Amino acid sequence: MKPPSPVNERCSIARTLVVLGEKWALLVVRDIALGVTRFADIRSRLEVAPDVLSDRLSKLVDLGVIERRAYRDEGARQRDEYTLTAAGAALLPVLGALSQWGDVHVASPWGPATRYVDARDGGDVRIAFVDAHGRAVDREQVAVVPGPGALVA
């Protein structure tokens, strides 16, 4: 399935929001990344209507963000669980950036609900800009400029 796209939309952010901007989409990706992979478990965590969740899961599968895999518990009928594809896993820095921003600008009184850590030692990691040589660049030193696909006025 070809992802929906606004007519003549050149902006990657706008095109991405067409795919992932629907309510629940990124939360579903987050939960699958956390290891919550079964429909009932995702629904329970998010408290989302089953038809809405089914729609979001189907769209994310069609767009190649997650994949559906069959499983069967002993004595039960076959059901589906969901895993991230490479495209879905590539969203982890986006989720991390949203969490990092939210932890500062719309902080919860209970503290962060999700942490991003180095799997090797459990140390916290943060999202940052890096240059082509892998060096960290302070956000104050980052300029947003038109790319080759931009319309120049």
Count of H-run helices and E-run strands, the chain: 6, 4
Kindly list the structural domains of the chain, giving each domain's residue range(s) and its CATH number in brackets, ordered by start.
12-141 (1.10.10.10)
Nearest to 85 by CA among 67, 62, 58: 67
One-letter amino acid for residue 86 of the chain? A
CA distance 102 to 105: 5
Position 110 pLDDT exceeds 90 = yes
By the 8 A CB rule, do 84 and 77 touch?
no
One-letter amino acid for residue 141 of the chain? Q
One-letter amino acid for residue 150 of the chain? A
pLDDT in tens, 32-47: 999 999 999 999 999 9
* SS3 call for 13: helix
pTM for this entry: 0.85
Position 65 pLDDT exceeds 90 = yes
By the 8 A CB rule, do 6 and 13 touch?
no
Token representation of residue 50 = 């089953």
Token representation of residue 35 = 């290891």
Query: If you average pLDDT over residues 67-78, what whole number do you get?
Result: 92
Position 135 pLDDT exceeds 50 = yes
CA distance 124 to 46: 25
Position 3 pLDDT exceeds 60 = no
Mean pLDDT (the chain, rounded): 92
Position 15 pLDDT exceeds 80 = yes
